Structure 1
Amino acid sequence: MSRDPLGDRAVLTVRGSAGRRVPSRTRPSWLRVDLGLFIGAAGLSLVGVVLVWSATRADADGTAALKQLVSLAVGVVCAVVVTRLDVRAVRALAPIVYGLAVLGLVAVVSPLGSTVNGSRSWIRLPGGMTLQPSELMKVALAIGMAMLLAERADRRMPQRHRDVALAWLVAGVPVVLVLAQPDLGSALVLVALSVVIIAAAGAPALWTVGVLVAGGAAVAAAFLTPVLSGYQRNRLRAFLDPSLDPEGIGYQTRQVRIAIGSGGLGGQGLFEGRQTQGGFIPFQETDFVFSVAGEELGFLGAAGLVLLIGFIVVRCVVVARRADAFGRLVAIGVGVWFGVQAFENIGMNLGVMPVTGLPLPFVSSGGSSLIASWIALGLVGNVASASPPGRR
């Protein structure tokens, strides 16, 4: 055992074929933490607190923004702890985290669950707090599937059909439970995360094609069968024709587009947006927080949010490129999660995607979403800090 010249922790050493000592790092080093990733997420989260405050100040008098700040503090602490975990501990904990997340989803569809807007997605906690297990399942699925598929991927061997079938079984259980709530948006994120991780691990192309076909059939079933609640089916149908629900989701999306369009280049000014401060947009601090940026900060402010989210996604990909198989799959999964969810949220604000209720990562009000996003960021930080320097 020797000291790591780049950090303050001891590292294990093994003998190479020529007898030289080769460090085997499993503990992360602060010197290799991707600070840009954390700084970008911190800036995005603080902007989110301000936008939530603006959207709720007339009714909540800063309470929602304070809760968001507390959730941010908890999330940052969780991210720091996860960043410092031994890589072997992360892999060993993956089945436990996955099992706990599944139990949370089962609890949601039991009498313990709480229904909001036609979706039974929350568990009420003491003190008026709520927990949304589907957000934590995104973390659990990313590390769980990476653990299952990393061994053969590390050897650059194609995945066996039975390994891929097991991975899809692991992914399918939470997807079915989330659809039972029903929460189509979160289910789509879980499916996208799973598809990319399995494909990146070297699965046969036939599996990817088959899953995409099955996904298209599932979306068609969402429109044609009662798998979704009437409230959610109305959301999807109103996307195609807002006149079908002129006083519900059609009204919301119309007001959102008015707010974003009225922001112009530089916006109407923070706390000065007519639609936002007038309370014309229901759930603006959650589903439609992007419209606050569009109206009050204008095109420049909204574009800045998009660039920050894009920066975080790109950094996840960069971290994945220099990591081992397990770390690469985790970082790719997290990047897909953030990218797909941001695309859907911003798209539904702009009227180019159906309204599914997905929050904007790091920005929308919601403790479960914010904390889960920061835990995922801690996983990527762990991957970055545990990767050998110079690896490509």
Structure 2
Amino acid sequence: MRAPVSGFVPAPLAQLRWGILLLVMAIGGFGLVVLFSAAGGSIYPWAFPQAVRFGAFLCLAVAMSRVRPSTYAAAAFPTYGVLVVLLVLVELLGAVRGGSQRWLDLGIIRLQPSELMKPAIVLTMARFYAMLPPSETRKLFSLIPAGILIGVPFLLVLVQPDLGTGLMIAFSGVTVMFLAGVRLRLFIGGALLVAVAAPLAINYGLHDYQRNRILVMLDPESDPLGTGYHISQSKIAIGSGGITGKGFLNGTQSHLDYLPEGHTDFAFATMAEEWGLLGGFFLIVAFMVLIRWGINVGLRAGDRFSRLTAAGLATTIFFYVAINMAMVMGMAPVVGIPLPLVSFGGSAQMTILICLGILMSVDRENRRIQRW
């Protein structure tokens, strides 16, 4: 039977969540404005490549929304296995940038497998707990395979070294465990164990620069021209923006190169200096609406895999936003987590839009079931 149309719009396009797509395009468009300003009023070298990638990945998200959630469930474990192999290859053959070995140079593109592992770990953990009988979820032995599934990519990413991405992978996986119904006392015990082990990990398990970032977060003035320089300049940029900001193209911290990485990790500080509290409020509300929609998609889902996947992916987006904003405000160590759809870079942009595509797939399946 021919697909119905709504006016002149084909049914597949009419069925898309245009409100969410427009919201994502508004966030991405605002990010392009920030990058345009960070380059001194030029579309190069950041805004134009970012716009091209955004358009391509948004089309990918729309295409992914047409795939049934059952297909993602079937592909979860194979995708996880492929990405683990790629992470091993990164350690053996990866390209080094900024002192870290995180990329596979494929000639045409430079792939960062650790970014793809963020949505993949959510799919994998959701698939694992969807296969596990609910009565077994709360038993202690079920934590062993779950811990291995999370621990392997976490350790492989940690040795790159990339503490921020490793923690994101761990947080996303543990969140799915919590949502699946693992006993709360196990999380409390794990948190206490982490609290006890943290001093040892900081002193003996981290690189010197990672340890210094944690210490500087607690006291930025201890090294204002060294490790604390990023946080100090970021705070100055955000604070000087005030309520309404200094105005478009009128930022000083970024334009005079006082603010390092003002187009990547500290793009929020670049934005806040020119757009002030109002610009920050827009971004926070926009991301809150997007995350709330993702959680609601999970609440409406009809099967365990879809519920865990949607809630886990929405939480992954939340971790991106919360960690980056806490980082640029000096409330968290500088761990290299970009602000999604705003910071320059294709890897995080791709990850967020992949999450969006899968969320729209679950939402589409929810509406199909409700029609039946």
Describe the superposition over 1:174-223 as per-residue Cα deviations: whole angstroms up to 9, x where unpaired.
11111111212112222221122111112233432333334435543442
Residue 105 (structure 2) aligned to one of 121, 124, 127? 124
Instruction: After TM superposition, list the pairs within 5 Å mapping 1:155-304 onto structure 2.
Output: 158-217=137-196, 219-225=198-204, 227-304=205-282
1:12-37: CA deviation from partner (whole Å, max 9, x where unpaired): xxxxxxxxxxxxxxxx9766643332
Deviation at 1:343, TM superposition (A): 1.0
Structure 1: segments with no counterpart, 5+ residues: 9-27
Provide the secondary structure at the position in 1 that maps to 2:39: helix
Tell me the CA shift for residue 281 of structure 1.
0.9
Residue type of the alignment partner of 2:118: K
Aligned pair in 2 of structure 1 residues 142, 65: CA closer, same or farther (>3 Å)? Answer: same
Label 1:230 to 1:124 Cα distance change in 2 as closer, same or farther (>3 A): farther
Residues 1:79 and 2:61 are matched in the alignment: yes
The change in CA–CA distance for 1:69 and 1:218 in structure 2 (over 3 A counts) is farther
Structure 1 residues 271 and 148 mapped into 2: Cα distance closer, same or farther (>3 Å)? same
2:114 corresponds to: 134
1:79–1:377 CA contact under 8 A, matched in 2: yes
Q: Report the CA distance between 1:283 and its aligned residue.
A: 0.9
- How far off its partner does 1:303 sit? 0.9
Q: Identify the residue that residue 149 of structure 1 maps to in structure 2.
A: 129
1:201/1:130 CA distance change after superposition, 3 Å: same
SS of residue in 2 equivalent to 1:363? coil
Secondary structure of 1:63's counterpart equals: coil
1:35 equivalent in alignment to 2:18: yes
> Counterpart of 1:124 in structure 2: which amino acid?
D
Structure 1 residues 316 and 220: alpha-carbon distance in aligned structure 2, compared to 1, 3 A threshold = farther
CA distance in structure 2 between the aligned counterparts of 1:61 and 1:31, rounded to whole angstroms? 32
Q: TM-score, normalization: structure 1?
A: 0.85
Whether contact under 8 Å (1:331, 1:383) holds in the other structure is yes
Kindly indicate whether the alpha-carbon contact (under 8 Å) linking 1:33 and 1:382 is maintained by their aligned counterparts in 2: no
Question: Using the alignment, how far apart are the partners of 2:275 and 2:283 within structure 1?
Answer: 10
Alpha carbons 1:31, 1:385 under 8 Å: kept: no
- Give the alignment's Cα RMSD to 1 decimal: 2.6
Say if 1:30 and 1:385, in contact at 8 Å, map to a contact too.
no
The CA distance in 2 between the partners of 1:355 and 1:321, in whole Å, is: 34
Tell me if the contact between 1:108 and 1:123 (Cα under 8 Å) persists in the aligned partners. Answer: yes
Q: Which amino acid aligns with 2:157?
A: V
Rounded to whole Å, the distance in 1 between the matches of 2:13 and 2:233 is 46
CA contact (8 A) 1:74 1:371 kept: no
Q: Say whether residues 1:69 and 2:51 are aligned partners.
A: yes
- The reply to whether residue 111 of structure 1 matches residue 74 of structure 2 is no
Name the residue aligned to 1:13. none
Any gaps of 5 or more consecutive residues in structure 2?
Answer: none
- Map of 1:343-362 to 2, 5 A cutoff? 343-362=322-341
Deviation of the 1:263 alpha carbon: 0.9
Q: 1:210 to 1:4 in 2, by over 3 A?
A: farther
Tell me the amino acid that sits aligned with residue 111 of structure 1. L
Report what 2:72 is aligned to: 90
Question: Following the alignment from structure 2 to structure 1, what is the Cα–Cα distance between the partners of residues 360 and 198?
Answer: 34
Kept after mapping to 2: 8 A contact 1:52/1:365: yes
What is the Cα deviation at residue 320 of structure 1? Answer: 0.6
- Amino acid corresponding to residue 192 of structure 2 in structure 1: V
2:349 corresponds to 1:367: no
**What is the Cα deviation at residue 262 of structure 1?**
1.1
Counterpart-to-counterpart distance in 1, 2:161 and 2:196: 17
- The answer to whether the 8 Å contact 2:247/2:275 transfers is yes
How far the C-alpha of 1:4 sits from its partner, in A, is 11
CA displacement at 1:289 relative to structure 2:
0.5
The answer (yes or no) to whether the contact 1:29–1:385 under 8 Å persists in 2 is no
Structure 1 pair 79–216 and aligned structure 2 pair: CA distance change class (3 A): farther
Q: Deviations over 1:104-148 (max 9, x none)?
A: 2212222323141x4322233425x53222111001111111111
2:3 and 2:94 map into 1 onto residues whose CA distance is: 51
Query: How far apart in 2 are the matches of 1:252 and 1:112?
Result: 27
Report the AA paired with residue 49 of structure 1.
L
State the one-letter code of the partner of 1:96. Answer: P
Offset of residue 390 of structure 1: 4.8
Q: Deviations over 1:243-291 (max 9, x none)?
A: 3332233122111111111111111111110112111111111110001
Residue 383 of structure 1 and its aligned partner are, at CA, apart by 0.5
Aligned counterpart, 2:311: 332
How many residues were matched structurally?
A: 365
